[in-house]
Amino acid sequence: MRKYLTATIACAIVLSAGLAGAAELTVSQKKRQFKPNILNAKLGDTVVFMNDDRYPHNLSSKTPGFEFNVRKQMPGDKFAMKLDKRGRFQIDCVIHPRMKMTVNVE
């Protein structure tokens, strides 16, 4: 529960009360990759990151206006974030630097 609270406080895109027609989109982390590695979403959608890997991951974005750091996400854990800002940002895994994905929010 602590990591969810920390991520909520640290993440500018985790907050809003939800918009009509919002969808829940799932991103899998497996074999040290994000699947999909490019995600097109709409304002108000929720993205759920599932750690389907056997390794821990650490989701982070340093894109201005979209900064956050989830900290360690253990195998089997999930992290949800509501997209409340339009734009494009990159998410990296701090533990596995080649793990990268792009999120486009319309």
CATH number of the domain that residue 68 is part of: 2.60.40.420
Beta strands in the chain (DSSP E): 24-30, 33-35, 38-41, 46-51, 57-61, 68-73, 78-82, 87-93, 100-105
Tell me: cis bond preceding 36? Omega within 30 of 0 counts.
Answer: yes
Domain of 42, in residue numbers: 2-105
Is residue 11 within 8 Å of residue 71, measured between CB atoms?
no
> Terminus-to-terminus CA distance in the chain, angstroms?
30
Instruction: Quick: pLDDT tens for 11-31.
Output: 433 434 444 578 999 999 999
Domains in the chain, number? 1
Whole-number pLDDT of residue 65? 95
Listed as ranges, residues in the chain with pLDDT below 50 are 4-19
pTM of the model: 0.79
